[in-house]
Amino acid sequence: MLGKQFLIFQGVTDTMLTLSNSDRKRLLTPIKKTILQYNMIEEGDRVAIGLSGGKDSSTLLSILTILREQLPFHFELIPITLSLGFEDMDMMPLKKFVNELGHELYIKETNISQVVFDYKKEKNPCSLCANLRRGTLFDYATSLNCNKLAYGHHLDDGIETFFMNLIYGGKLAVFKPKTYLDRANITLIRPMLAIEEKTIIHFVKAKNIPVIHNPCPADKHTKREEMKDLVKTLSASYPDLRQKFMSGAMNVQEADFWKIDHNDVGVVPSRE
């Protein structure tokens, strides 16, 4: 039952699944609304949660564990993670956290770090690493009979991706809330797109959720970090930047862009 002050679940760690009114307003309600708006989760779904050990995906697992008891349909949660081959990455805090929420953590062993840094010796490793991780996650999720895969991407990730595509790719694009991947036969969902990163940071600190150190040599030295700095600078002058971005992404008008209609392009006359 949902009380006036707190939401408490029996059988798992009370502290972890006890939400204050602020948590419900800033996290639970927006995530629930996003799921229902885009039909992200439906009756009978097996939803894999891609856990990295970071704050975002762990927050997503916490909130979806609560929403599993609230949403008007039955679905299963399957927490999965990839061991990338870094020797100094301790997975035990993540295992304990997942178990405290009442789940079992499925771990896929890989040699992705060796492929990227030792075999390929990539100078810009992030793109290759991301592609390898995505493919492995999709395959592992489907092998566990999951038809959905949930990522912990939030609103800041969305606006940073938009600027990365614009500045480095010369295109106006951002990832979608829900995407069916026909080659992998799985639907990718992002339930936290309406959540600001600062809200997640506050939640993780308040709940003392473990955050695993990322041992990747490229961590904090990426183009995305540059975009984080850019968004931080812009939002200092325009505090509502994130909300304006979300509104714009949800109300795109194709007619406002310079798309060429090749049917209207005339033939250049010959000078003969």
User: Which residue, among 156, 228, 152, has the nearest Cα to 192 in the 3D structure?
Assistant: 152
Round to whole Å and give the CA distance between 228 and 233. 9
Residue 80 has pLDDT above 80, yes or no: yes
pLDDT tens digits for range 121-176: 556 666 666 777 788 899 999 999 999 999 999 999 999 999 999 999 999 999 99
Strand locations in the chain (E): 46-51, 76-83, 106-109, 148-150, 178-181, 186-189
Judge whether 126 and 222 are in contact, CB under 8 Å. yes
pLDDT tens digits for range 46-74: 999 999 889 999 999 999 999 999 999 99
User: Which residue, among 191, 157, 176, 185, has the nearest Cα to 50 in the 3D structure?
Assistant: 191
- pTM for the predicted model, two decimal places: 0.85
Round to whole Å and give the CA distance between 190 and 194. 10
Report the range of poorest mean pLDDT among 13-17, 204-208, 227-231: 13-17
Round to whole Å and give the CA distance between 117 and 115. 6
The pLDDT score that the predictor gives to residue 103 is 96
